[in-house]
Amino acid sequence: MIKRTLFFGHPAYLSTKNEQLVVNFPEEDKKEATIPIEDLGYVVLEDSQITITNGLIRKLVHNKTAIITCDQQHLPCSLLQPLVGHTEQTERMRHQLNASLPLKKNLWQQTVQAKINNQAAHLLYLGKNALKLKRWATEVKSGDSQNHEAIAAAYYFQTLFEEVPGFSRNQKGTPPNNLLNYGYAILRAVTARALISSGMLPSVGIFHRNKYNAFCLADDIMEPYRPYVDTMVYEMVLAGEDLEELTRDLKTVLLTIPAMDVVIDGKQSPLMNAMSRTTNSLYECFEGSSRKILYPEFE
């Protein structure tokens, strides 16, 4: 089942009644709205004048609905998830924490290879040159000791947005960097939600390690999924829209990322469901019953 994403960009009062999310607006001309909580996967709260009751928060968390809040720049900045995401959480975290260094290096090698292959497939789909990316994907070694991930990313973005004068991938750079930042933030939340639901700690990564980053593992596992965000942003660039401001219409499109169709294990699936398959396969690697992470293949 595809879970819905709700976005609140204006003042609102959010409460609950009869297992429904109830929305009331300050404007008198807007009617009360209700949405079944069981249908929700993500709730994005952007406006600073949104009020949400503790009863609703409790029900959303129990439903494993990710509650995402945004900062003053309107970018997602926090994620509320349950303390207990899986019935076997303690054992699963123990397997994760006990993972050997050779295993983590192998998992990162698989992740980088999958990311570069998806980047190459995206460029080929657009009729652009991807020979270097295809070669680099085959040259990735354990732990990506030669940093092919960064080398490939620089070439990929330069080629992907060659029509955009002076473009370089930088969080504070010129558009469409703002769209990429927003899309990746949504993807990060999708990944963290799936990791927690699979009973793992999103802060303990296989490659990323930073004491100030609570989502190191999410940042690892989302890498091969990034090209799906890129293709959505690229289509916005081709459409010739004004991208200087991250408008509500642009955000509305980017908020459909969790429901995007991807191909994983030869079958089409919504991205949020595919991510759960990826995180479950990751746990099987930590547990020792598998040696391969299941990632989608860009088509």
248: domain CATH number is 1.20.120.920
Q: Are residues 17 and 111 in the same domain?
A: no
Please indicate, yes or no, if residue 23 is contained in any of the structural domains.
yes
Here the tokens at position 271 are 């991205």
Whether residue 274 sits in one domain with residue 147: yes
Please give the residue range of the domain that contains residue 45: 4-80
- Of 31, 63, 80, the residue that ends a domain is 80
Instruction: Report the helix count and the strand count for the chain, using DSSP H and E.
Output: 10, 10
Identify whether the C-beta of residue 22 lies closer than 8 Å to the C-beta of residue 36: no
**Would you give the distance in Å from CA 270 to the centre of its chain?**
13
pLDDT at 48: 92
- DSSP letter at 144 equals G
Domain boundary among 63, 80, 97: 80
Residues 25, 160: one domain?
no
Domain-ending residue, one of 58, 80, 102: 80
Residue 130, domain member (yes or no): yes
Residue 293 lies in a domain: no
In this structure, the answer to whether residues 282 and 178 fall within a common structural domain is: yes
Does residue 37 form part of some domain? yes
Positive or negative, the CA dihedral 106, 110, 115, 120 is: positive
- Closest to 185 in 3D by CA, of 127, 116, 255: 255
Please say whether the beta carbons of 105 and 143 come within 8 A: yes
| Per-residue confidence (pLDDT) for residue 28, from 0 to 100 | 65
CATH number at residue 32: 3.100.10.20
- How many domains are contained in the chain? 2
**Is 295 within a domain?**
no
My answer on whether 201 and 270 are in the same domain is yes
User: Are residue 71 and residue 97 in the same domain, yes or no?
Assistant: no
Residue 250, CB half-sphere, CA atoms under 13 Å: how many? 25
Residue 298 within a domain: no
Beta bridge partners of 262: 269
Question: In this structure, are 26 and 172 located in the same domain?
Answer: no
Query: How confident is the model over 190-245, as pLDDT tens digits?
Result: 999 999 999 999 999 999 998 888 899 999 999 999 999 999 999 999 998 889 99
Q: Which pTM was predicted?
A: 0.91
Residues of the binding site:
149, 208, 223
User: CA nearest 272: which of 208, 205, 186, 199?
Assistant: 186
Report the Cα 9 to chain-centroid distance in Å: 20
Beta bridge partners of 13: 24, 51
Residues of the chain with pLDDT under 50: none
pLDDT at 260: 96
Check whether residue 140 and residue 221 sit in a common domain: yes
The pLDDT value given to residue 211: 85
Residue 85 in contact with residue 198, Cβ under 8 Å?
Answer: yes
Same domain, 14 and 117: no
Binding-site entries for Mn(2+): 149, 208, 223
Examine residue 60 and state whether it is found in any structural domain, yes or no: yes
- Do 17 and 56 belong together in one domain? yes
Note whether residue 294 is domain-resident: no
Measured CA to CA, the distance from residue 47 to residue 83 in angstroms comes to 26
- Predicted confidence at residue 72, as pLDDT, reads 86
SS3 20: strand
Same domain, 49 and 10: yes
User: Are 51 and 117 contained in the same domain?
Assistant: no
